[in-house]
Every structure is written in structure tokens, then in C-alpha cells.
């Protein structure tokens, strides 16, 4: 396969996932988090279902595996997106992106604690360095938090949900294609979100008058981040391997910071840039161990 196409397939998902935090902020000007997530899942499920239909890659889910899919969907997209989206309402898009990008660093720690998998000093060092980078971003010169504590806790909840998902998905990942896993969990995720949507945001939804920018951001989030990016990721991993693909995920916070500054007017001061650089250094260090788990979608790195 053409090398330029392969590396384009690796880079574009990172751009889409980096932009997802900015697009979500734009959508929040008209819709609440639950509405945003429900619409996103509905649109992305339709797109992925059509893709499966066209490619003829439909797989039947075994009844014995259904309980795993329900739990996977509860962890992600439901719990993960609840934490991420409500956290994103309280903190900057850049900070949310930085925290979410640390998920692959946290996962080996829980895998060591719960599954007794090997944990190297490189894993621990990468986690500590990236944590220090986050501290640089959220703590001011007077050592006071510059970010919402509630927002940080919600994003932490999203990280833990994604870690739980990453550990559990091993139960089904060998028996079904990634496309099937994502589509099924998104469909079940819709069933989790719909009752919450009707109880909390339905009336606001029917009275909202979203602008073209909101509609465009919603379609980009659902189609590009939850469908196209996933397909491109699958191509890239097949051609260059998961380890080399994972290196590209380090640019996600940079993409978010740049476009949040250009589109949302978020500040891009020296302390934030230094913090992002430290986080990325920790991520690179962790990859030297060769233990980093596959990234999001099947686990969603995006916002």
C-alpha cells in the first residue's frame, strides 16, 4: 500500500480526535452534554452500520458475549463520555485533551494491580512525568488550582472508565472485528443515554436553534471522529503496527491546544506549552517499554 496513504491514515485520526474537543465545545453553545452524546452515537451508529452493510462484514454476536458488550457499553461510551463531556464543560479543551491522552499511561498500572501484568520502571516513569506535566498546567504560580476541581474529577472518572473498558475489552477483541465491537457498544450506549436524555435535556433540545457551525461540528464529531477516524486507524495499524501507530497519538494535545487557541480563543501561555511538552515526553517514554495498550477506538481517544 502507498506509504503516503498509510501515514496519512495514521495522522488524520489524531487530527480529528484533537479537534473533537474543540468541536464539542462549539456544540455545547446550543446543546447539553447528554444531547450531544446521544446525537453523536445515533449518527455514528448509522454510519458504521451502513459501512458494515456495504462491506459485508456483519458478524453475529454470541448470546454468551452479550453481557460483556453491555458492560463495555456502560463503561464506554456511557460512563466515559459522561465524565469527559461534563468535565469538558468545566475546563478548557486543551486541559481535557491532555488528561484524556494519559489513559494509556494509567492502564498498565491497573493491569499490574488487577491482572498482575508486568509493570516496568519505564511505565511508572512515564506516568509520573506526565502527571507532573498536568500539574504544571492546572497549578498557578501561587500554587492554586487554575482549573475546576469538579472538572478534573469528572475527567478522572472518564479516565478510570476508559481503563476499565481497556481491561475488559480483551474478553471479546479476539472473537469479533474492531468495527463490530465499536458499533455494538455504540448502539447499546444509545439505549443507556436515551432515558437520561428524555429526563434531563429533551425540552431544551426541542427548543434549541443551533447554528450552522453547531450542526457542522456535530456531524464532524459523529462521522469523522467516531467513524472515519476509526476506519483509518484500522488501516494504519494493519500496515505499520500498533506500536508505531501509538506514537502518533502524542500529537493529539498539540492539535487541541492549537485549534482551541485559534477557534475558541483559549490562552496558549508558556506554562501551558511547557506542561503539554512534559506530558508528551512522559507518553514517549512510556512507549519505550513496548507495553502501551491499543488506543481508543476500540477505545475512544477523542472527546
- Per-residue pLDDT band for 190 (boundaries 50, 70, 90) equals very high
Mean pLDDT of 256-265: 94
Length of the chain: 303
| Closest alpha carbon to 91 in 47, 171, 28 | 28
Average pLDDT over residues 183-209: 96
This prediction's pTM? 0.89
The pLDDT value recorded for residue 296 is: 41
The per-residue pLDDT for range 34-73, each reduced to its tens digit, is 999 999 999 999 999 999 999 888 899 999 999 999 999 9
- Average pLDDT rounded to a whole number, residues 269-286: 88
Lowest mean per-residue pLDDT among 13-27, 99-113, 211-225 = 99-113
pLDDT exceeds 50 at position 273: yes
* Cα distance between residue 125 and residue 102, in whole Å: 13
Grid coordinates of 188: 447499546
Give the pLDDT band (50/70/90) at residue 173.
confident
Query: Which of 252, 287, 212, 214 lies closest to 18 in space, CA to CA?
Result: 252
Q: State the maximum Cα–Cα separation within the chain, in Å, rounded to a whole number.
A: 59
Distances (CA, A) of 179 to 7, 44, 115, 260: 20, 12, 26, 30
User: What would the 3-class secondary structure string for the chain be?
Assistant: CCHHHHHHHHHHHHHHHHHHHHHHHHHCCCCCHHHHHHHHHHHHHHHHHHHHHHHCCCCCCCHHHHHHHHHHHHHHHHHHHHHHHHHHCCCCHHHHHHHHHCHHHHHHHHHHHHHCCCCCHHHHHHHHHHHHHHHHHHECCCCCECCCHHHHHHHHHHHHHHHHHHHHHHHCCCCCCHHHHHHHHHHHHHHHHHHHHHHHCHHHHHHCCCCHHHHHHHHHHHHHHHHHHHHHHHHHHHHHCHHHHHHHHHHHHHHHHHHHHHHHCCCCCHHHHHHHHHHHHHHHHHHCCCCCCCCHHHHCCCC
Amino acid at each position: 500500500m502507498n506509504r503516503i496513504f498509510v501515514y496519512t491514515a495514521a495522522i488524520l485520526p489524531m487530527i480529528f480526535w484533537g479537534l473533537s474537543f474543540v468541536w464539542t465545545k462549539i456544540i455545547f453553545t446550543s446543546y447539553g452534554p447528554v444531547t450531544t452524546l446521544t446525537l453523536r452515537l445515533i449518527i455514528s451508529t448509522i454510519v458504521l452500520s451502513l459501512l458494515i452493510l456495504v462491506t459485508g462484514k456483519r458478524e453475529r454476536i454470541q448470546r454468551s458475549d452479550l453481557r460483556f458488550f453491555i458492560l463495555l457499553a456502560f463503561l464506554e461510551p456511557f460512563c466515559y463520555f459522561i465524565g469527559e463531556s461534563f468535565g469538558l464543560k468545566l475546563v478548557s479543551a486543551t486541559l481535557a485533551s491532555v488528561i484524556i491522552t494519559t489513559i494509556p499511561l494509567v492502564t498498565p498500572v491497573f493491569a499490574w494491580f488487577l491482572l498482575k501484568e508486568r509493570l516496568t520502571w519505564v511505565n511508572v516513569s512515564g506516568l509520573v512525568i506526565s502527571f507532573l506535566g498536568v500539574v504544571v498546567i492546572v497549578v498557578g504560580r501561587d500554587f492554586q488550582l487554575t482549573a475546576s476541581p469538579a472538572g478534573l474529577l469528572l475527567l478522572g472518572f472518564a479516565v478510570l472508565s476508559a481503563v476499565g473498558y481497556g481491561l475488559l475489552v480483551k474478553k471479546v477483541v479476539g472473537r469479533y472485528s474492531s468495527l463490530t465491537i465499536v458499533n455494538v457498544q455504540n448502539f447499546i450506549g444509545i439505549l443507556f443515554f436515551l432515558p437520561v436524555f428524555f429526563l434531563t435535556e429533551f425540552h431544551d433540545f426541542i427548543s434549541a436553534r443551533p447554528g450552522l457551525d453547531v450542526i457542522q461540528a456535530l456531524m464532524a464529531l459523529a462521522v469523522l471522529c467516531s467513524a472515519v477516524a476509526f476506519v483509518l486507524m484500522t488501516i494504519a495499524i494493519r500496515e505499520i503496527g500498533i506500536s508505531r501507530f501509538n506514537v502518533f497519538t502524542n500529537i493529539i494535545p498539540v492539535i487541541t491546544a492549537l485549534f482551541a487557541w485559534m477557534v475558541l480563543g483559549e490562552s496558549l501561555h508558556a506554562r501551558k506549552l511547557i506542561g503539554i511538552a512534559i506530558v508528551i515526553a512522559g507518553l514517549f517514554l512510556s512507549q519505550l517499554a513496548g507495553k502501551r495498550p491499543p488506543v481508543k477506538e476500540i477505545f475512544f481517544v477523542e472527546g
